[in-house]
Amino acid sequence: MFKSLLKSLAISLSVLIVICLIVLIPRQPAGVVPGSGLIPAGWFDWPAYRAGVSAFAHSLLGDGPPFRTRYDEPLLPVIWAALRKSLLVLFAALLAGFLLGTLKGIFDYKMSRGRLNFLGGGSTWLIQSAPDFLVLLLAQWFIIHHANHIRFYAHEGIYAFIVPFILASIYPVFYVARITAASIATEDGRMYIRTAQAKGMPNRIVFYRHILSNSMPRVLTHFAPLGVYILSSLLLIEYLRNFVGAPLRMFQAFDYQKMMGTGDNYEPALIIGLAVCFMVLVHIFELIGYLAKKRYASR
């Protein structure tokens, strides 16, 4: 147990080092294409890279200048502010995904025997296979043109939470529903279920106490991947709403622009800080999933 934990920690650490090394690659082009005058060339600038890595290490160890953002703000408050804007939506969407998704999964499973199957599993499958930006753009179009009492771009107030929350939780609900329905289907018809039914236990109790609680652990293994997925779709939601939470702040820190050159405002320390936060978040998701699974398994 201890050995595997140590190994996992070592892997995480080496991953973090590689991420740092990728992030610290200098973003200023090393020169221009000969004869072009302006067009930058993507040569690899070793001396700049080495200097950047050593400056970063010095700042990290405390004997260099402290990290600053492009607006000359201290780093940690900026990271915290960005995280705070996204975390609530992230966890609310995860929770809603699992609660509503389980209900929809039960509904889908119940429908799967009838003629209206397309209303259950079919609709879930169809919505789940649509790209997330389709839903976002359609929602944006609808709100702006037909329901503009809803403030799509709200930065504070109730809409600042509700709009991204609903947009972020659509996909998780259908994702969880699909897994729940499949998981129930594999559990149903097993010997112990038939035994319970043969003993005359009411169907409702068999379903909730036996089938559902035994299929939950399988659903909960998807907790961490779903969390990462929401984080990723949150980037697009924040991008379209122009609301700077953690994923969008990270994207801004890349300073990827097709105009005005790229890399002038690159913020490596901020990217690494947010990457560490994301890694911690993923581990928290894994831990929650693991604990919830264990709770179900022990019952």
Q: List contacts with another protein (CB under 8 A).
A: 11-12, 14-16, 18-19, 22-23, 25-30, 37-44, 125, 129-134, 137-138, 140-141, 144-145, 224-225, 228-229, 231-232, 235-236, 239-240, 247, 250-251, 254-256, 258-263, 271, 275, 278-279, 282
Distance of CA 153 to the CA centre of its chain: 21
**Smallest separation (angstroms) from another protein to the CB of 158:** 23
**Smallest separation (angstroms) from another protein to the CB of 292:** 19
* Closest to another protein by CB, 79 or 240: 240
Whether residue 105 contacts residue 180, with contact meaning beta carbons closer than 8 Å, is answered with: yes
* Closest to another protein by CB, 16 or 154: 16
**Smallest separation (angstroms) from another protein to the CB of 254:** 5
Cα distance between residue 36 and residue 262, in whole Å: 18
Give the chain's count of helices (H) and strands (E): 12, 2
**Smallest separation (angstroms) from another protein to the CB of 207:** 25
Contacts made by residues 266-271, CB under 8 angstroms, sequence distance 24+: 266/27, 266/28, 267/69, 267/70, 268/23, 268/24, 268/52, 268/56, 269/56, 269/59, 269/67, 269/68, 269/75, 270/67, 270/69, 270/75, 270/78, 270/79, 271/23
**Smallest separation (angstroms) from another protein to the CB of 201:** 31
**Smallest separation (angstroms) from another protein to the CB of 101:** 19
* Closest to another protein by CB, 46 or 192: 46
* Closest to another protein by CB, 103 or 235: 235
CA proximity to 286, closest of 218, 224, 217: 224
* Closest to another protein by CB, 109 or 285: 285
* Closest to another protein by CB, 43 or 80: 43
